[in-house]
Structure 1
């Protein structure tokens, strides 16, 4: 248990009713989880308002209520704390409750539209290979050194983040690499954390259903850098037009990386093959198993971050050459019929274009590229026709299908993708609502040396429809479909 006044340190309080010199058990922002002597924080969410459940939390035994509006009836024995912003208060309270664990290790946040998972996961792998105890908070999983936990959000809630950081601190973890999404920043999930550094990968069309405008999306990302202390580093991609924007107001030490323009850290792509690429970083050549320009940027960011965190440069280059692809990121295999199948998480226009540019750059010209792609339901609708245009323009055959339709009609989503197809490309497009059947169709259409790209879900092992998740693994599905061709 913790003393309430201790976990309130640093919280902006507008009004207090009751005693803060009391012991509390735990903190919750979901009233269904509240127990005796807990603190309930009435967060206003996108779907519901926690203020509606204050009475329920009190009936469940809450000792303290944190809210933006005090209820009309204040119950004796319960402490009510009025704050300007419950999300900010939750972030500070959560960090205090777990004794501010981010101060006990070097926490690096990675933000951007694409590359967050790859950069964070590969930094985790690199530092593990270098012999350190390392933590990871990513879309795919949370790692407390060697202990793995599953995760459902790019940036978990602040209580989960601090709980895992506390576990890392207890385990003696020295470095932690954390994806920081625009949603997480906007909802203050990264507030109250002490960052040793932050990395900006790139910015392109995504999440405009949530942020409404690109400027708001960009400025939300920028807040991560604006909040860095002067002891931290800020590492930004100068080949992205928003790279300098991220560094404008930061107090942190500014560093840049690029492939095309002048920067502190630079790289060149010397050779590309399907099994890897030859890079030149700091006048040293290295072979990487990760291919594509986008991965060259990712690897350069990793090299720069490792240098800024104190790793020896030549050791870093050696370890980079040993890194493997992250699950669902340009993950591929070649069937016995010599058909190459690639599974990638590309779910934004820019990511899909990057993958197809990479594939087309590796073609000899005789192979067909068959792209299976969909768009998620209940998400940014404006990118659907753009995705449809890119897939149909840059592939010999495009098959539009379901992604995670969620509560939307899969057919309606597909029709919105079809709206972006140019007239000259309509003959190249098939629409097959069932994703399994769409993958099978792509495999049946493919001939020897052809390339199949299954895009959009990557590492995900489920498909979500109307609140229900069923097992579905793109890599497994395409592998089974290709293996079944010769039977």
Structure 2
């Protein structure tokens, strides 16, 4: 058992009632998980306030309460600690509780609107191939070297992060690559972590339902770089207009990458095909299985990160050429009838535009592009008409459908997408609420050599409606439908 005073090290305390020199069992922020001699941290969330569950936590055996406001009615033998920010306190305490595991490995944070999953996952793959013990904290999964754990958030809660970093320490992991979302930064889940480096990919329209303004969204991302130490590195994409903003106040060593601008790491696309692309990085050429200019940025960021972490350049190029694409990221299947189906996680206007532009560079001009796309419920509504406009403008046929409606009515979401369609493109749009039927319709409309893009859900293997998740995998469904049509 640990002493409460030890895990409070580094936490800004405003008031204390009781002794912190008490033995504690574990740390919790969900009152349902509290047991005898546990410490409960009352966190104010977007939907639930942990302060409403202090009495329940005490009834379940909590010996300590960490909160932003000490209750008027105190319980004997319970220690109350008042802090300025419960989320920040939880993160620092979680780090202390698990022995500050981020200090014992090289933790790299990847942030930006698009590319986080691809870059972090492929860095994990590359360093594994190079013979290292590696960790991964991503949207898709958590990896502790060869052991896989499920995840439900881009940036998990602070307890989950530090628990798995601690497991990485036990397994002798040397490098860990972590997706860092704006939500995670804003909710202080990364406080107390020591980063060896941070990578910025790009910044486009997303999460404005949460951050309220683009400036707040940008500055939240920037704070990851602001908090880096002078021993760390900061790597940024300077082709993005916000790239240099990320470096403004950082104490870390600054590095840049780009396809169009002068940068420390620069690449050119020499050839682009459906089976991959040929890049020139510095004076070396590289064939990669990753397709499109957005993936050229991802490959360059991976190359630069690996170089900054000390891998030999020719070895990096060799390993990059072997890497496979990440599930749900420009994942494609070609039927016997030569219909190409592409599944991509593109769920922002910029990501959708990037994927359609990539398809445009790969087509001969004789094929039709049929796009199946939806927008998630309970998320940024302002991007819906924008995505509707992009899909209808850049496709020969666009089918608007459900994504994860969550608590919203699917037909209303689709109507908001339709509102962005320009008059000259209305005839190109179909609206089919049932996503499986929308995919079937796209397959039935497709002729030989046509291209079907199914955007928005990517790697997700479920569809969420009114709090319930049902099995749903875009890639499996489109393969099944196209195979049935081949018969």
**Normalised by the size of structure 2, how large is the TM-score?**
1.00
User: How many residues get paired?
Assistant: 487
Aligned twin of 1:467: 467
Structure 2 counterpart SS, 1:35: coil
Equivalents in 1 of 2:8, 2:473: separation in Å? 44
Equivalents in 1 of 2:182, 2:301: separation in Å? 19
Equivalents in 2 of 1:212, 1:109: separation in Å? 24
- 1:366 and 2:372 aligned: no
Deviations 1:334-365 (A, max 9, x none): 00000000000000000000000000111100
CA contact (8 A) 2:344 2:453 kept: yes
* Match runs of 1:221-236 below 5 Å: 221-236=221-236
Aligned twin of 1:133: 133
Equivalents in 2 of 1:232, 1:162: separation in Å? 20
CA contact (8 A) 2:335 2:486 kept: no
Aligned twin of 1:113: 113
Aligned twin of 1:300: 300
Equivalents in 1 of 2:260, 2:286: separation in Å? 19
Aligned twin of 1:398: 398
Structure 2 counterpart SS, 1:14: strand
- 1:205 and 2:205 aligned: yes
Residue 48 (structure 1) shift: 1.1
Aligned twin of 1:78: 78
Aligned twin of 1:286: 286
Q: Which runs of 5+ in 2 are unaligned?
A: none
Structure 2 counterpart SS, 1:195: coil
Residue 486 (structure 1) shift: 3.0
Structure 1 counterpart SS, 2:271: strand
Aligned twin of 2:218: 218
Aligned twin of 2:312: 312
**Normalised by the size of structure 1, how large is the TM-score?**
1.00
Equivalents in 1 of 2:391, 2:385: separation in Å? 10
Deviations 1:275-296 (A, max 9, x none): 0000000110010000100000
Equivalents in 1 of 2:84, 2:272: separation in Å? 54
Structure 2 counterpart SS, 1:161: helix
Aligned twin of 1:26: 26
Q: Which runs of 5+ in 1 are unaligned?
A: none
Deviations 1:99-157 (A, max 9, x none): 00000000000000000000000000000000000000000000000000010000000
* Match runs of 1:131-170 below 5 Å: 131-170=131-170
Residue 398 (structure 1) shift: 0.2
Equivalents in 2 of 1:214, 1:441: separation in Å? 37
Equivalents in 1 of 2:460, 2:47: separation in Å? 24
Aligned twin of 2:52: 52
Equivalents in 2 of 1:11, 1:409: separation in Å? 43
Equivalents in 2 of 1:25, 1:469: separation in Å? 34
CA contact (8 A) 2:108 2:196 kept: yes
Deviations 1:209-266 (A, max 9, x none): 0001000000000010001011000000000000000000001000000000000000
Deviations 1:157-213 (A, max 9, x none): 000000000000010000000000000000000111000000000000000000010
Equivalents in 2 of 1:379, 1:85: separation in Å? 25
Deviations 1:308-358 (A, max 9, x none): 000001100110010100000000010000000000000000000000000
Structure 2 counterpart SS, 1:458: coil
Equivalents in 2 of 1:94, 1:125: separation in Å? 28
What is the CA RMSD across the aligned residues, in angstroms? 0.4
Equivalents in 1 of 2:210, 2:286: separation in Å? 40
Structure 1 counterpart SS, 2:382: helix
Structure 2 counterpart SS, 1:257: strand
Equivalents in 1 of 2:458, 2:486: separation in Å? 26
Moved runs in structure 1, 4+ residues, more than 4 A?
A: none
